């Protein structure tokens, strides 16, 4: 099927990026007129699951939803297509790493993520979520988007230092995604909000809590709710376990940043940040109110130190060696 897809839709598959339970993601080249080429990512439903109606509904819903989410901190969708009965999404190709890769690299080196880098990454995710949460349709009606799966694997960092949210596959939104909250719990247990874990209706504050969990792990190097327990135990932790002061694991975290983190993790919805924009503002004030603070260039330089082979790949592209550029791996 892949060969037919390449012939009919002017894509050339380069490599498999990731293989999931029901879908695969490929790096590909999109060809057009007069030698036009664009590197893209292709997300495809695996053939054995193409007849699974519930999954296909989610896949189609993701494509339709994200098509209108155009923001520098969200991975852009170019096309929802179908070939031989199998759906695919063509999307922005992000040359870089995900947040899990960054955290793992620091763990391997025995170092903590720098405070300014961590605060900057989370602030960019806040701005992407703020945009998605506030998005309206063409008639001005709120889409009421809730991502429901904010976790380190779904947060990309490009070599240019841009942070991007991806994978709205289990998001809910008016008119696009079927809402089965209460009967189906979606998302990854260690990053769920308490209301999500209980099967209650979620809103934008649920994503804020999930981002707070990510922030806690990013700056402390410790998972907040998961220590190898089964899923049920993790979900109980999400709802009931005490939240330790993050300075127990990283004394360098400033008090002002601890306050932001703990407010995002408040189980009382009325005390939690009402939206990601307010959390983003507090993070930006923390970073910049005394003068110059971190930027995408700061993050790019940090990536160069941790993942130098990512940038060797870019040098090969600039030197007009297409075969090497296409076949190069990100990093070992």
Catalytic residues: 149
CB 147 within 8 A of CB 207: yes
> Rounded to whole angstroms, how far apart are CA atoms 282 and 270?
17
Spatial contact of 10 and 35, defined as CB atoms under 8 Å apart: no
Tell which residue, 286, 244, 246, 251, has the closest CA to residue 123: 286
Q: How many CB atoms lie within 10 A of CB 206?
A: 25
Q: Are 41 and 91 in contact (CB under 8 A)?
A: yes
Contacts of 4 (CB under 8 A, 6+ apart): 83, 84
**Selection from 169, 165, 130, 134 nearest residue 43 by Cα:** 169
CA 37 to the chain's CA centroid: 26
Q: Greatest CA span in the chain, whole angstroms? A: 61
Tell me, letter by letter, the H, E, C secondary structure of 185-234: CCCCHHHCCHHHHCCCCCCHHHHHHHHHHHHHHHHHCCCCCCCCCCHHHH
Q: Going by C-beta distance under 8 Å and a sequence separation of 6 or more, which residues neighbour residue 216?
A: 222, 224, 243, 246, 261, 265
Q: How many CB atoms lie within 10 A of CB 317?
A: 15
């Amino acid at each position: 099927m892949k060969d037919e897809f390449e012939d009919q839709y002017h894509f050339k598959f380069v490599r498999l990026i990731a293989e999931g339970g029901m879908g695969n993601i490929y790096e590909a080249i999109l060809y057009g007129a007069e030698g036009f080429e664009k590197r893209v990512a292709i997300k495809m439903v695996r053939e054995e699951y193409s007849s699974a109606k519930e999954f296909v509904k989610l896949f189609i819903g993701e494509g339709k939803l994200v098509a209108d989410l155009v923001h520098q901190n969200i991975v852009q969708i170019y096309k929802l297509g179908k070939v031989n009965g199998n759906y695919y999404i063509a999307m922005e190709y992000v040359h870089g790493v995900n947040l899990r890769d960054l955290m793992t690299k620091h763990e391997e080196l025995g170092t903590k993520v720098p405070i300014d880098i961590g605060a900057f990454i989370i602030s960019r995710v806040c701005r992407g979520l703020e945009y998605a949460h506030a998005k309206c349709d063409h008639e001005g009606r709120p889409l009421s988007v809730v991502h429901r799966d904010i976790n380190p694997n779904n947060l990309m960092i490009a070599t240019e230092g841009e942070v991007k949210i991806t994978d709205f596959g289990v998001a809910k939104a008016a008119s696009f995604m079927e809402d089965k909250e209460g009967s189906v719990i979606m998302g990854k247990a260690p990053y769920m909000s308490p209301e999500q874990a209980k099967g209650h209706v979620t809103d934008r504050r649920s994503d804020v809590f999930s981002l707070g969990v990510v922030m806690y792990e990013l700056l402390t190097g410790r998972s907040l709710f998961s220590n190898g327990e089964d899923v049920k135990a993790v979900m109980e932790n999400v709802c009931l376990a005490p939240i330790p002061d993050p300075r127990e694991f990283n004394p360098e975290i400033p008090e002002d940043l601890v306050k932001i983190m703990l407010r995002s993790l408040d189980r009382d919805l009325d005390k939690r940040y009402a939206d990601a924009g307010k959390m983003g503002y507090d993070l930006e004030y923390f970073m910049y109110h005394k003068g110059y603070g971190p930027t995408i260039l700061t993050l790019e330089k940090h990536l160069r130190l941790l993942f130098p082979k990512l940038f060797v790949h870019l040098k090969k592209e600039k030197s007009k060696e297409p075969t090497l550029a296409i076949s190069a791996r990100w990093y070992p």
